[in-house]
Every structure is written in structure tokens, then in C-alpha cells.
Structure 1
């Protein structure tokens, strides 16, 4: 007999919905930082009201959902976390956020891996962690302090 968990696969999230106050500004963040592209639009009675975006490189599909009231009060915890391939990618992401003048949390270690939190234009917190299974060697831990 199959149970529900046998149907789930790694990285098999259908989509994530994020409350935003401005579609263009939010899309620019996801496009410029993570390479997302517009997938399709959600029509409303007066035109497009929300956008679905996707990343060709992987990651969940995201629906940018205009809801100014919810966007004005984002939760203090990450909405979700993205997997990055290795520790260098975490450093590179933080450097790119700096280059773009975008706010982010401190680079930190969590056990054997590094992480950084990015903030979208509505201050939604996005966790960015080294993917499961990545392990630094004992030598790397000693010789490569977190920058």
C-alpha cells in the first residue's frame, strides 16, 4: 500500500505564493537576484492582477500575489528556503545582494553549512542555505572562516 509520503519527490514543491505590494518591483528582485522569469499571468476583471514566475535553473515556482495589507506585515521567519549548491554560492549570493544594494542577513554557519537570509522589496525573508548533503571537510572548517 502506498502512503502519501511515497509520492513526494525531492524539490517537488508545486508553487509558493508571496504577498507583494508591487508586481514590477517584486519581479525585478526575483529576476535580478535569482534569475526568475514570468511564466503566466492571473487575469482579473480589470487586467492582470498577479504573476506566476519560474526559474529555468530550478527552485519552486512562485506566485507574486498582490495583497498590500499582508505585504505590509511580513512574518519574522523565512517564508521558505532555497538550496544553494555549496558554500561558495552562499558567499556569491551575499556579494551579489551587496552589489545590487539589497538588504540581507549576516552570513552564518549552521552546523556544517553556511546560510544567508535575503529580503525581498516587501521584507519577506527568504532563507538561502547550502543544499542537503553538502559537507565541508575538517580542513575547510579550520582554514576557511566565514567571511
Structure 2
């Protein structure tokens, strides 16, 4: 019996409990650029990229008006959004800066470059781009040798065009 998933398996969508749908839409739709595909009553909204039914769902079914969980508790660390290239990552950085949205971090991991931030409900968000696999850092045995270095935000913005 096999215990591995098929190679084509992907994370299909993330469903987040939020306190205020409109506040969350101002972030996920208006700043990041997801498209609203459907509302489900007055308690949920589905968002996507490129016509997919939904990548992100937001709901207030059990969380309307709630506060984020306190530090030190279990829950979502972050949802990661993979962008196609460095220019797209720079464009998102520019949008975040124009909106005055604070980053919690920005790292070069050797295999990828990533921006870290929180959504309005304190859910962690990583927005990143992968480098081509032939550029990934390797150790002497050929294994991955990921790192965490400071990401040059000025250079990233310059590459956005």
C-alpha cells in the first residue's frame, strides 16, 4: 500500500475565519488583487485568480467580530501565495507599500524570495516566488541548502519595472 500522494496533488484553497468580511476584502481583493467570484449569503466570500472557483475563502460563520488568537496558541502560521516571477513579487511589494501595509519580514531563502505580512485578522501571509530549480543552493551531497538572508527590497522594486 502506497502512503504518498500523487505527484499532481496541490493545495486547492484556504478557508479563513475572519472578523469582518469587508475589512478582509479590502486586503485580499483590493490590495493583493484576488477576484471576488461569489458571495455565500452575508457570511462568506470566495476569491480567486484567473477564473478558478476559489483559492481563498473568507467567512464570519463562527468569527464575526472576533479577535485573533493570542500568541503562543496553535493555528495557522501562514498561507503562502506562489507568484510566477520576481517582477510579480516586486509589483505586490509596490502595492503593499502604496497601501501602507506593513511587512513582518522579507527573506531570500536561496530557493525562493519571500515577503511576510499579516492580514487584518492576524493570519500570516507569505507571498513568494521560486527560483528555477537549477539555481537552488545545494550542499556537498546534493541536498538542499536553504538559507534565510535579508531580501533587498529596493532591488525587488526595481525589477518590478
Pair in the same fold by TM > 0.5: yes
Question: Who is 1:97 aligned against?
Answer: 96
After superposition, the CA RMSD in angstroms is 3.3
Task: Spell out, residue by residue over 1:6-35, the C-alpha distance to the aligned partner (whole angstroms, 9 max, x if none).
Answer: 2x626x433211111110110121112232
In structure 2, the CA distance between the partners of 1:105 and 1:89, relative to structure 1 (3 Å rule), is: farther
- 8 Å CA contact 2:27–2:119 kept in 1: the answer is yes
TM-score normalised by the chain length of structure 2: 0.65
Instruction: Give the Cα–Cα distance (whole angstroms) in 1 for the partners of residues 76 and 55 of structure 2.
Output: 22
Instruction: Give the Cα–Cα distance (whole angstroms) in 2 for the partners of residues 116 and 102 of structure 1.
Output: 12
1:1-147 aligned within 5 A: 5-6=5-6, 9=8, 12-43=10-41, 48-56=42-50, 61-66=55-60, 67-68=63-64, 71-73=67-69, 75=75, 77-78=77-78, 80-131=79-130, 133=132, 146-147=152-153
- Whichever structure has more helix as a proportion of its residues is 1
Unpaired runs of 5+ residues, structure 2, are: 137-150, 154-161
- Whichever structure has more strand as a proportion of its residues is 1
Structure 2 counterpart SS, 1:90: helix
TM-score normalised by the chain length of structure 1: 0.71
Question: In the TM superposition, what is the alpha-carbon distance from 1:133 to its structure 2 partner?
Answer: 3.1
Instruction: Give the Cα–Cα distance (whole angstroms) in 1 for the partners of residues 133 and 13 of structure 2.
Output: 25
Residue-pair matches, total? 134
